[in-house]
Structure formats: structure tokens, C-alpha cells
Structure 1
Amino acid sequence: MDERNTTRIDIGVCTYRRASLDEALLSLAVLSVPENVDLRIIVADNDKVPSARERVEALRATIPHEIAYVHCPASNISIARNACLEAATGDFLAFIDDDEDASEDWISELLATALATKADAVLGPVRSVYSSTAPDWMRHGDFHSTLPVWVGGEIRTGYTCNVLLRLGSPHVAGRRFNLALGRTGGEDTEFFSEMHGAGGTIAYAENAYVYEPVTENRADLVWLAKRRFRFGQTHGRLLLEKSTGARRLQQIGLAGAKAAFCYAAALACIVIPVTRYRYGLRGVMHSGVVSGLLGIREIRQYGTAEAA
């Protein structure tokens, strides 16, 4: 904090050829900002050409916060996330995706939790917004929303679609996203897992909502299955880095058994769509864990037309 006891928060928005960037930035324009808090927005354009520059310039007059535009070409999401970390000058750095809209109290809720818990990172919930054309089972089961996973009463990893990082923390300062995972995804899981493993703490602000419309191409079982499989691959790769020999074989067997159980449960619940797909997708995730433990390369997620 500076001499005026002002808390400075940067908000990183990584973007790649998305028109929804306008909506995301406009939602930041109407945030409820706590007293003695200054906000600055960092837009990291990950396209080979600076395609988002004109869009950002057109919105400057509408948005009451300073906007820093950074062109970081390569279609590699880790490069864009690292560009936000390097451009950040505040006490905290928040991340929100370019296809999400922040709730009015989003940053206030994240900051309040960070100050109350002294955590190194604070996650918030991502609530999916389905169109009327999405399958009934998908809307009723809410398969796209993002929430933290609790293990033994704590959060051991995180995500970048709704998070606040304490930049002065020794567990955050100098830490960067893995460039090798910038096209497959999983860079955020690794970032937070390693941060936690080094002694960092992760808290949860349950009312710090952001909203993510589920586009037509994502309201699809195949898209969900690919995403769950990649989640599993990332988890399996992280396990692989910490295990060898008999321990690795044991983990492969356990993940395989979990996958088999989930597929069997999905078959048993074949007449109950939400339960069937929930078990089936969980089985796909555990299959991804087996893949990761076997060292199979993770499927590519970023820098493609589908991802855009």
C-alpha cells in the first residue's frame, strides 16, 4: 500500500479474438469499488496481431478505470497470464476471463475475504448462464459452473477465471505460469498446486460471483468430455511428477478403478440423465488421470478456432 493507505488492485483480462471482451470490460466499469481502493485493468491480447487494440481504445472513455493494453502474441494463454503478472503494479492482481461478466460486488467480496483471511489467493464462483437451447440435463445439472474443490478442509489448487492474488506474498511473487501448458490448459491448476505446495493458502469468497454465458459450441457433451479429460490429464501429470515405480502403478490402478466405477454407475443410472452424465463425465476425468500418469501428452485447448 502507498502512503495514502490506498489499496491498488490490477484486474487482468487475457483475450484472444473474442467480441465478448466488450461485455467483460463494461462489467468492470460498474463495479462497486470500496473506499480507498484504486482499480486498473490490464488487457493482455494473445493474438498474433493486436486485434483487440481498437476494441480497447473505443471503450476507454466509457470505463472509469485506467486500462493498460499489452500485446503478447503467440496464442499461448500462459504468455498472456504472465504478461498480466509482469505488468501488475498493485497490491493485488485479479483475473477474469474475456467471456465473463463480473457482478457488481465481485472485487469487493474478493478483497474482503483476502483481508480477513490473509490468504495468498482468493477464489470466487463462476456461475454459468445457459440459453434456452441448451439440453435440459445440462441446464438442470449445471455442468459448466466453476467452484473450488475442498480436500481435507482446505483448497489445494485453483483457477484463473475468478481469482485474486496477493502480489506481495512470497508464495506468489516471482511465480509464473508454465509456457509448456499454454496451449493445452492446466497451467492454472499447476500454478496454484505448486503455490499451495510451497506453503501458500487459498481462500474462497462465496459471494464474489462472475457469470459466464455458455455458448452453443460449449453446450455439448463432447466439449464437456474433452474438458473433463484434460482436467484429469493435468491432475495425472502432477501426480506423475511426484511418484515413481510402485507408487505410480498404484495410482494408475486407483484412477482406473474409479473410472470403471463411474462408468458402471452411469450405466446403472441410464434413465436419469443428470446423474448418468455426471457419473459418465467423472469417469472421463479419471480416465484422463490415467492418461496423465502414463505420460500421454495433454490435448490442446488454446490457440485454436474452437477455443476462440
Structure 2
Amino acid sequence: MNRQDTFPHSSAKADQPGMSALNIAVGVLTYRRLDGIAKLLDVMTRQTRHPARPYHLTMVIVDNDAAGSARATVEGFGQTGAYDLIYVVEPNQGIPFARNRAMDSAPAGTDLFCFLDDDEWPVDGWLDAMLETREKNRADCVYGPVQPVYPDNPPEYFIKAKVFERKKNKDGQRISYAASNNVMFDYPLIRSWNLRFEEKMRFTGGTDYLFFNQAIRRGMQVFWADKALVYDIVPASRMTWKWVLQRQYRLGNTFAVSEVLHGNLKRRLYRAAYGASRVMLGLAMLPAIVISPYWGMRALTHVLRGAGMVNGILGHAYQEYKPNAAL
């Protein structure tokens, strides 16, 4: 099954006299997370629009379940009038396959493309905040903050350690990274470079790191939009030592696997040396774990990410998203 459905066009084109509305597509991947995709599509019906920044919005939903389990849920939002809606099934399981399908499914004439996750939802002013930052900085790409939303009675140690909190920057600051959890980029620019998410990294994760890293090396300018806030659900199943430690290892491993696939010898040697130095630094810091959750977790992060880098350069690719993945 590899079918694409386009639901009735929206009436909210936001055209203004003398102004041309930008065509924006928001890509969302989903896999058997019906509550999440329903919440996100509902929230996107309430995006506030500034008259000086008109746009026409299309939501592109890529179901990575070959059975099309999200179809009925998505169809329910086809008549809202807030956006056009495209639903497509990508039967090849793996995040890079679904991300590439999302970009390939954007309507003709798309100016800007965004990615959100199906366990996230943005604030009502999210899209306009992205556009404002893009306009002020003439940005090729805009990246925004992701705030974790914890389950009831989460483990106190992980909260104090700030395990699930992501790096923040000053509003309008130029940065050297981006990821697919809250991003907007110049669609024609990316297409002109023929950039794709690396399908050889089918189950490793980190293909967005590689994708944006490649774009930045080609000259893409990324700026931080602090008001473009997105909330991210942290399920209780992730608040375990096993998940947290494996995730830190995987993140380091992803960087190394990316260098093996697309870097040169110099970059691979640098990544191996950098990984080894992080292991040594983390071991030196490790005693802090008994007195400070934050610094203790920083120590473990150094050790595990460093080990992931070294092992990745040596040929081990940790398959976090493969069923029954294990170190």
C-alpha cells in the first residue's frame, strides 16, 4: 500500500491585498500513535496568523504503518478549513523513509517546509513565531525550543538531572545545528541540493542530525526562534535508567555513524579522539553522581556518548529503532 490522499482544500489561505501568501507544508510522521496525531492536528487548527505574514498551510501526515492505521483519525480533520491535508502511507518502516516521503509529498509551489513529531504540539503562535524569526534574520532555516511534559509522579532524580531538557539559545541567535522536532526550512533550497535523509541509517536514529549538518556545511543559515515553543510528551516508559543510558550511547553513536557514511578520514579520526576524551572526562566526573543529579548525569552522558562515538567509528551502529534493539 503506497497511496496518497488529499482532503478538501482549506478556505484559510490568508491572502492580503498586495501581499502574496507563503505556501507552508508541515510534515508529521506517525506510527500507531492515534491520540498524538489527533491532538496535533487539533492544535494546528488554532494557529494564530499575523496580517503582515500571510500563509497557506498544508499538513502532510505520513503513516509509517503499512496497514494505514491512522487514516480514519486523520480523515476526521479533513473538513476543518484551517489547512489542506495530505495523508500518505509509507510502507517501508524506518524514520528516514518516512521523512523523505513527507518532503516528496509536499504540494507543488511549497516555499517552506516544517517538521513536527506526533507526540508534540505547538503553542498557538508557533508558526507565526517561526515566520517572524525567518523574516528578521533572512534565515534559511529556523529552529525552536522543545519543552518536556512529564507523566504523573516522574522519578525525581531524572527531573533534577534535567535529562530530558534540551539546549536553549537567545531569540534570534544564529546556531550551528537543527533537528526535525521543531524546524522550518527553505524547501526549494533543500531540494536544489538534492538532500535526503540517509536511508542506510534506517533504525539508528540521528538522520535529522546528519541532514541538517550537511545543509549547514553547504551554507544554510539557522536561527533560533524562542517563541516558537513546542511541547513534547515524555512517556513513563522512557523514565528508566536503561532507556536514559541507552539513549545517551545512541546519540554519540549516531554522530560517529554519520562520519563513517559521509565524513572523511580526518573527521573520523577527530570523532574517535573526541569520543575517547569524553569518556575520560566523564570517568573523572563520575563521583559527582552521589551528590548532584545534574553533574552526575553530565558525567554519565560524557562516558556513554563518548563510548558510542568510539564504537561507531570502529563499526558498531546501535539500532535504537529496530525491534528488540540492544547494546
TM-score by length of 1: 0.89
Matches within 5 A, 1:145-294: 145-147=165-167, 155-169=175-189, 174-240=194-260, 241-244=262-265, 248-249=268-269, 251-294=271-314
From 20, 32, 39, the counterpart of 2:48 = 32
Aligned to 1:10, what secondary structure does the other structure show? strand
Residues of 2 paired with 1:63 and 1:136: CA distance?
43
Determine the structure 2 residue equivalent to 1:8.
Answer: 23
Deviations 1:8-51 (A, max 9, x none): 11111111111211111111111112332111100011112111
* Contact 2:271 2:309 (C-alpha < 8 Å) held by counterparts: no
Determine the structure 2 residue equivalent to 1:109.
Answer: 129
* Contact 2:169 2:226 (C-alpha < 8 Å) held by counterparts: no
* Contact 1:96 1:161 (C-alpha < 8 Å) held by counterparts: yes
Matches within 5 A, 1:78-157: 78-89=96-107, 90-147=110-167, 155-157=175-177
Residues of 1 paired with 2:288 and 2:84: CA distance?
55
Residues of 1 paired with 2:100 and 2:280: CA distance?
38
Determine the structure 2 residue equivalent to 1:302.
Answer: 321
Residues of 1 paired with 2:236 and 2:81: CA distance?
29
Does residue 51 of the first structure (1) align with residue 69 of the second (2)?
yes
What letter corresponds to residue 116 of structure 1 in structure 2?
K
What letter corresponds to residue 227 of structure 1 in structure 2?
R
- CA positional deviation for 1:67: 0.8
Residues of 2 paired with 1:251 and 1:69: CA distance?
40
Instruction: Give unmatched runs, 5+ long, in structure 1.
Output: none
* Contact 1:103 1:210 (C-alpha < 8 Å) held by counterparts: yes
Residues of 2 paired with 1:266 and 1:133: CA distance?
27
Residue range with higher mean Cα deviation, 279-288 or 164-173 = 164-173
Residues of 2 paired with 1:242 and 1:165: CA distance?
24
- CA positional deviation for 1:251: 4.4
TM-score by length of 2: 0.84
Aligned to 2:305, what secondary structure does the other structure show? helix
What letter corresponds to residue 62 of structure 2 in structure 1?
A
* Contact 1:120 1:172 (C-alpha < 8 Å) held by counterparts: no
What letter corresponds to residue 143 of structure 2 in structure 1?
L
Deviations 1:145-179 (A, max 9, x none): 333689xx853332101000111226765321111
* Contact 1:126 1:211 (C-alpha < 8 Å) held by counterparts: yes
Does residue 21 of the first structure (1) align with residue 37 of the second (2)?
yes
- CA positional deviation for 1:303: 5.5
- Identity between Structure 1 and Structure 2 (%): 27
Determine the structure 1 residue equivalent to 2:4.
Answer: none
Determine the structure 1 residue equivalent to 2:92.
Answer: 74
With over 3 angstroms needed to count, the CA separation of the structure-2 counterparts of 1:266 and 1:149, relative to structure 1, is: farther
What letter corresponds to residue 232 of structure 2 in structure 1?
E
Aligned to 2:287, what secondary structure does the other structure show? helix
What letter corresponds to residue 15 of structure 1 in structure 2?
T
CA RMSD of aligned residues (A): 2.6
With over 3 angstroms needed to count, the CA separation of the structure-2 counterparts of 1:242 and 1:78, relative to structure 1, is: closer
Residues of 2 paired with 1:109 and 1:155: CA distance?
17
Number of residue pairs matched by the alignment: 302
* Contact 1:252 1:293 (C-alpha < 8 Å) held by counterparts: yes
Deviations 1:70-129 (A, max 9, x none): 111121111111111111132101110000011111111111111222222111111001
With over 3 angstroms needed to count, the CA separation of the structure-2 counterparts of 1:58 and 1:171, relative to structure 1, is: closer
* Contact 1:46 1:74 (C-alpha < 8 Å) held by counterparts: yes
- CA positional deviation for 1:63: 6.1
What letter corresponds to residue 266 of structure 1 in structure 2?
L
Residues of 1 paired with 2:104 and 2:113: CA distance?
10
